[in-house]
A = this chain, B = another copy of it.
């Protein structure tokens, strides 16, 4: 059994789905949830996602073997401060934040250095939905989880968090926090910025109702991620601002080159770019 007592702080889509998966795998005895919204915790308990709950983080982590921080990355420092003196001696703590450099910084701001029992992590899974009602045990099946241990991270703690995600069906790999942030800025954070920016642009038009009325499946899929939780994405973008700003700059230059081709009627240049993109995307899907 991976954890007798598992504490999930933030029982939303990710935290709730992990709780469901660990329970389904029979890898814990008791799951205690924690959050600020008691109604949501009651729902989670009614749904059988958690066994008990507390709105007080220090109370929630008492005696827990594994503590998962499934809150927006901007809230991690505050939660760590609340639980610091209440953690069991053997407790392992991990998080699910989409940026890892900022989480490492937040942990360092509370502790003098990353404690051996803290394993920064990020499941690359999710939907545009939020909240425990949207959670499901299969969310992490066949999905990747990146753990970003630092030099002093305890090998046993890393192994325990690895097993936690593996029992939920995920493929776990490790890399440095910096490398994680560069990769995710490209594959996730930039696309979210681009999708938010497109919907914002169209929404500001006088004819926005008509525009959306004639939008089809391509637009629906392209903008799906713009329905994601705004607070979560504000935090992620700010937390990974450096890597993201560099990419926005690169992207703007690439888009400007495409626009130049269009302006100059460069049919061959456009075709070559579109062909290469299609090949790369088809390869990725295949």
Contact = CB atoms under 8 A, between A and B. Distances in A.
Contacts of A212: 187, 280, 283-284
A258 to B, nearest CB: 6
B270 A234 contact: yes
Given A183-B214, A198-B251, A212-B280, A271 B230 contact: yes
A10 to B, nearest CB: 18
A250 interface: yes
B262 A215 contact: no
B222 A225 contact: yes
A280 B197 contact: no
A203 B126 contact: no
A211 B186 contact: yes
**Interface range, A side:** 35 or more
27 contacts: A124-B214, A126-B216, A186-B202, A186-B205, A187-B215, A187-B216, A192-B218, A194-B198, A194-B222, A195-B277, A199-B277, A200-B273, A203-B277, A203-B280, A208-B280, A218-B228, A222-B225, A227-B282, A229-B278, A230-B277, A233-B274, A234-B270, A234-B274, A245-B259, A245-B263, A248-B262, A249-B259
A200 B277 contact: yes
A54 to B, nearest CB: 28
A253 to B, nearest CB: 9
Nearest to A215: B187
